[in-house]
Structure 1
Amino acid sequence: MGMMTAESKETDRLIDMLRRSALLEELQQEALDRGELQDRLGVSRATCHRHTRTLDEFGVIERVDGRFQLTDAGRLLTDALTTFKRDAGSALRLAPVLDAVKDAPVEIDAEAFADATVTSAERGDPYSPVARFVTLMQETETLYGFDVDGIAPLYMEEIKDRIVSGMKTEDLVLPEAAKNALDEYPEKCMEACMSGYLTIQLHDCLPFGLAVFDDRVGIGVCEPDARQLRVFVDTGSQEVREWAEAVYEVYESEAVLMEEFTHQEFHEAMERGGLELTM
């Protein structure tokens, strides 16, 4: 077995710190004795002793009057570990979106999403990405994009109400999504269309959901072979907005306008565009 390099030793040390980051984060709040640490972390006395001994040897915690507290180096380390865990978690949640946009007709650097808000469907809260979209929709005066209905199909009433109340909306939709909306919500579709604030166009290939609000841009990715939103990412980045505008223009140039949101107009638009349902 070869001798460990200084770099590999440093890597192992950082891994040790990450494994014990929960303990450091507890001490970031307040000094604690060993029993309190055991209770907070839910570990045995032996495990707690091993963790505190290791961290003490690294010089990031110290024991004063029977209570453990962070050293100056420990406070810096804990801040760094907290930031790393947050950013790494965001990067992992962002992965489905980066994978979806990589084949978009306009390229964008992943770094443009560095400050994005990432909302993922979680066990026990599968609709949190949809809720995030609805929150942004309620705050905007204009909305355009594509497959927006795919982002929030269960919130047709809220979307319709915002459109009727004056939210100017342009949406490129998949033919099957338009047909489903007409079949399931005919009155809502008609009311939104008759308001004069809604423009619907059909497109037969939309790889992700795009929503351009007044101040932010949102991207939604659904579960494979399902219409349930998996992750919704939104950002105020000007670079992402410019990219979104360019991508929208490409897809809009290929879309077919529905002059009215009716079954008849739907079929006429399908014929004009030579589109086919894939349902």
Structure 2
Amino acid sequence: MRRTLDEFNDRRWIDKDGYQYVATRLGEAIASGIEDLIERVETERKLRSVWQWLPDAISAFPFETWSDLTITVAEPDAPYRPVGRFESLLRETTTVRFLRPEVALMDLCFDLLYQLIAEGVEMRLIDRPECHRYFLSTYPNRSSEMIRQDHFTILEHDNLPSYGTGLLDDCVTISCYERDSGTVHALIDTDAPAVREWAESLYETHRADARRVELQKSAESVPHD
């Protein structure tokens, strides 16, 4: 420790003040730089495990935007941690717009989704046709009830990104899916304005080409529970 303090003193990074050392302006500059470096290393560490699933637009954002990302990763002892994080965000919103919500995420949240729609939360989902058919066949009664609500809209699109993008009141979520199993590997959420702007543009581009799903007749033909 003494050798380190002597080295800092030789470099004019610190001065001795009675029984303690205080940083000089040079020392404060170095300390600030070290703090920035530590923040970058910590951000890189949390992004490393999800980097391969990130949208190209997110990886192109400046570092300052990366540091605003909250990343929740599935672990062997907590495989549903990303779903739990998503549910906590859903409980705080009054609107949900979601591009590729995907069965692996929404199936585990179905009870909450049903409750939110009953409470008047406005929801618009754009997903693949096979995902809509899954929910209609798995939850015929509640799916039919949800479809009849004016504030619940289902659209379908055949060419969606490999990740999910959700727009809630106060944040954007990005769902990272395992390509082979379809499970939710991680959930990213952020209130960064740059990410919000990107997500709005992405959603609206796909919404313009999406088709409204005519599920009412199909729902009437599905056997009820």
The TM-score normalised by the length of structure 2 is 0.75
Cα distance in 1 between the residues matched to 2:144 and 2:5: 68
Aligned: 1:250 with 2:205: yes
Q: Shift in Å at residue 264 of structure 1?
A: 6.0
> Is 2:71 aligned against 1:118?
yes
| Distance in structure 2 (CA, Å) of the matches to 1:90 and 1:200 | 34
Give, as a single letter, the amino acid of the residue that structure 2 aligns with 1:236.
D
Structure 1 residue 140: Cα displacement: 0.1
Aligned length: 196
* Partner residue in 2 for 1:96: 52
Identity of aligned residues (%): 27
Distance 1:80 1:264 in 2: 55
Distance 1:249 1:261 in 2: 25
| Displacement after TM superposition at 1:186 (Å) | 1.1
Distance 1:166 1:238 in 2: 27
Q: Deviations over 1:238-270 (max 9, x none)?
A: 11111111111111122110144552699xxxx
Per-residue CA deviations over 1:59-118 (Å, capped at 9, x if unaligned) read: 59xxxxxxxxxx979xx59966753542222221341342xx22xxxx453323331101
Name the SS of the counterpart of 1:139 in structure 2: coil
CA distance in 2, matches of 1:191, 1:264: 9
- Out of 147, 159, 169, the position equivalent to 2:100 is 147
Contact 1:146 1:211 in 2 (8 A): yes
Residue-by-residue CA offset, 1:218-242 (whole Å, 9 max, x unaligned):
0001112222100111110111111
1:191 aligns with 2:145: yes
Matches of residues 1-279 of structure 1 in structure 2 within 5 Å?
A: 58=4, 83-98=39-54, 101-102=55-56, 107=57, 109-111=60-62, 112-150=65-103, 151-206=105-160, 207-261=162-216, 263=218
Does structure 2 conserve the Cα–Cα contact (< 8 Å) formed by 1:175 and 1:203?
yes
Question: Which aligned segments of 4 or more residues in structure 1 are displaced greater than 6 angstroms?
Answer: none
Question: Using the alignment, how far apart are the partners of 2:5 and 2:217 within structure 1?
Answer: 70
CA contact (8 A) 1:212 1:244 kept: yes
Q: State the superposition RMSD in angstroms.
A: 2.9
1:152 is displaced (CA, Å) by 2.9
| Runs (5+) with no aligned partner, structure 2 | 7-20, 24-30
Q: Which structure has the bigger radius of gyration? A: 1
Q: 1:121 to 1:59 in 2, by over 3 A?
A: farther
SS in 2 for 1:154: coil
Structure 1 portions without partners, runs of 5+: 1-54, 61-70, 267-279
Give the aligned residue type for 2:176.
V
